[in-house]
Amino acid sequence: MHSENTHADLLLINGMLLTMDADDKQFNPGGAAIRGEQIIAVGPSRQLEANVQAKKVLDVTGCVIMPGLVNAHTHAAMTLFRGLADDLPLMDWLQNYIFPAEQNLTADMVYWGTMLACAEMILSGTTTFCDMYLFEHKVAEAARDAGIRALVGEVLYDFPSPHYGSIENGLKFTESLIEEWKGDPLVRVAVEPHAPYTCSPQLLLRCQALAERHGVPLITHLSENQNEVDEVLKNYGHRPVAHLENLGLLNSGLIADHCVALDDRDMELLSSRNVQVVHNPESNMKLASGIAPVCRLLQMGVNVGLGTDGCASNNDLDLFGEMDSCAKLHKVANMDSTALSARSTLKMAIQNGAKALGLGDRIGEVSPGKWADLIVVDFQKPHLVPLYEPTSQLVYACRGADVRHTIIHGRLVMEDRQLLSMDLNEVMDRARKFSQIIRPL
Ligand SMILES: [Zn+2]
């Protein structure tokens, strides 16, 4: 507490506060005070009530207050393809359904598809997402309009894009997007070459130079499955991770999505170069890509965040479900029920993701001075009673629909499950209309 009678915009009280700070402090009953975009005080409810004068007070009795979740890998607008084509071989799925659908994509479709994704994410407790897609300026606009934090970037590859055409335009577009959003409170822009099998070494190097020039992250899919490893080995004589090492791309500013098919040397490289890894367990399971060696990576000190990937391969953006799948997948993969704990999994979905996205010092805990990105989860539900250990409950029993309030950058964007930053019915109507264009009934 800075002083008596601190003024705040919003005060949450009477919850079980999981700060998730370095000491893992908890206050029960406790709360947090928010002014502007910042958390200004946390502590026991009694103390906050005595010392904080707030414009708005939310009594969250029976709820957990915690940092918002970070979806570290999405293709948000692919919500429009949710359930369009499932249970197919990967190449049939990609070439006969997803690529043709994407050829007809428009900026408008990306905007509304992303709004739908933002609605789903805010409603399920995600306060930050990291996106790669086409027409990414529309993703940036949708994130801003929805009031959600985002790291976005136009997907870049050697062949012509339905959005920008030639790669020269793609690089120019990315640079202008970086400049346009510089200093925005919610949205930042990254450079995002698609993958080592769709981007030439020259393109990867130009992407890295662009990212370095602007001090922004470089994001790519990496070693998603064995086919990719075989193809990169055939074309360049090295596995994908070693290929990027040879090009000088492996460093702490690289966010590598998937990292499923790894050998010992790949893991050593990712570890020694401090690459940020994002794990997408449900997508990897659904596309039968394999099981990323997440426990070994974590043991080797690699920072591993959690993502859902796009809705065509998941098919939802609920990080609570993703955490549950993640912990259980690695237990069975290792035939060891202690392999990945609820605690480690929750950390992946919050702090590790924040760190991967370069936001580790601003979000990921409910502490004074941090940006106010936090969620309130309602534990007064039959599937969440009784309560012995909140972390276990959050990972193994909670669902996104249990999130009651969502606050991002100090703004209440969902209150009592009502979205305050958009007209949800309009968003769902638009998505239904686009689905008739994507696959006429
Ligand atoms: Zn992806």
Tens digit of pLDDT for each residue in 335-366? 999 999 999 999 999 999 999 999 999 999 99
The burial of 187, by beta-carbon neighbours within 10 Å (0-12 exposed, 13-18 middle, 19 or more buried), is given as: buried
Cα-based distances in Å from 190 to 38, 121, 219, 249, 344:
24, 21, 7, 15, 27
To the nearest whole number, what is the mean pLDDT of the chain?
A: 96
* Residue 28: partners with Cβ closer than 8 Å, 6 or more residues away: 15, 16, 17
Between the CA of 36 and the centroid of ligand 1 the distance, in Å, is: 34
Between the CA of 74 and the centroid of ligand 1 the distance, in Å, is: 6
Between the CA of 240 and the centroid of ligand 1 the distance, in Å, is: 16
What whole-number distance in Å separates Cα of residue 326 and Cα of residue 349?
10
Between the CA of 1 and the centroid of ligand 1 the distance, in Å, is: 43
Between the CA of 310 and the centroid of ligand 1 the distance, in Å, is: 6
Between the CA of 285 and the centroid of ligand 1 the distance, in Å, is: 13
Between the CA of 76 and the centroid of ligand 1 the distance, in Å, is: 10
Between the CA of 72 and the centroid of ligand 1 the distance, in Å, is: 10
pLDDT of residue 1: 47
Three-state secondary structure call for residue 68: coil
Between the CA of 221 and the centroid of ligand 1 the distance, in Å, is: 6
Between the CA of 132 and the centroid of ligand 1 the distance, in Å, is: 7
SS3 content of the chain, % helix, strand, coil (to 5): 40, 25, 35
The residue count for the chain: 441
Q: pLDDT tens, 384-436?
A: 999 999 999 999 999 999 999 999 999 999 999 999 999 999 999 999 999 99
Between the CA of 73 and the centroid of ligand 1 the distance, in Å, is: 6
pLDDT of residue 441: 56
Between the CA of 284 and the centroid of ligand 1 the distance, in Å, is: 10
> Which pLDDT band holds residue 89 (cuts at 50, 70, 90)?
confident
Between the CA of 258 and the centroid of ligand 1 the distance, in Å, is: 8
Q: pLDDT tens, 159-205?
A: 999 999 999 999 999 999 999 999 999 999 999 999 999 999 999 99
Q: What is the average pLDDT across 310-331?
A: 97
Joined tokens for residue 410:
């100090």
